């Protein structure tokens, strides 16, 4: 829990920095680049996160690697993160930063589970309808699970809307099994 709180505080600082300088889009793209590199390159992640490697060496490598790729403010932010020995939570900082940007832009990511792939037009229609219901710009993240048979399941935060055919059939099954059948003796 402590790392999450620290990551949120760093992300808030980065967010404020982005608003004052190059802008949210440049910082969002930059922090995504850094997080992706940490995720995709285990040697780089090990180098950056290993406490036995001197911070000066880490900062020099980060400067060389990102000097032309990142906004100056974001690069300085990364160097401060290394100075404060918080580089192991950089991916968490990136996630928290994205959440702050989404909140600022009145955007919500919605997990949509369907039985079959959706075409672009249907995905756009789902996004529009969800946006109207939620009062925010909805960004659907579509997952395909054939076992729901039909319909869709929508998850936003801790709220789940289950409109799947599987749930509806299950709802019909219980009363049918509980119904007493008339005797045939009649």
Average pLDDT score over the chain: 92
Q: What is the pTM of this model?
A: 0.76
Q: Is residue 18 part of a domain?
A: yes
Choose among 79, 42, 87, 47: nearest CA to 63. Answer: 79
Question: Domain count of the chain?
Answer: 2
Q: Does one domain contain both 99 and 112?
A: no
pLDDT at residue 186 is higher than 60 = no
Neighbouring CB atoms inside 10 A of 108's CB total 18
Does pLDDT of 157 surpass 90? no
- Please determine, for residue 185, whether its predicted confidence score (pLDDT) is greater than 70: no
From residue 59, how far is each of 52, 88, 94, 182, 183 by CA, in Å? 14, 14, 19, 81, 83
Residue 133 has pLDDT above 70, yes or no: yes
Domain hosting 150: range is 108-178
Percent of the chain with pLDDT over 70: 98
Alpha helices in 21-69 (DSSP H): 24-40, 42-49, 55-66
Closest Cα partner for 72 from 17, 145, 3, 151? Answer: 17
Is 183 within the bounds of a domain? no
- Strands 137-144 and 107-114 come out as parallel
């Amino acid at each position: 829990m402590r790392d999450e709180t620290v990551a949120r505080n760093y992300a808030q600082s980065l967010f404020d920095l982005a608003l004052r300088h190059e802008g949210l889009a440049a910082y969002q793209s930059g922090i995504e680049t850094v997080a992706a590199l940490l995720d995709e390159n285990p040697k780089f992640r090990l180098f950056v996160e290993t406490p036995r490697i001197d911070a000066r060496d880490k900062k020099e490598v980060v400067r060389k690697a990102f000097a032309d790729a990142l906004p100056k403010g974001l690069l300085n932010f990364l160097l401060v993160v290394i100075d404060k020995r918080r580089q192991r939570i950089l991916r968490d900082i990136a996630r928290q930063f994205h959440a702050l940007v989404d909140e600022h832009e009145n955007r919500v990511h919605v997990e949509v589970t369907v039985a079959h792939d959706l075409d672009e037009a249907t995905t756009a229609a789902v996004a529009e309808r969800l946006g109207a219901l939620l009062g925010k710009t909805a960004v659907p993240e579509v997952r395909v699970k054939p076992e729901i048979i039909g319909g869709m399941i929508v998850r936003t935060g801790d709220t789940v809307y289950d409109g799947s055919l599987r749930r509806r059939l299950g709802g019909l099954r219980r009363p049918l099994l509980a119904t007493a059948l008339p005797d045939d003796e009649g």
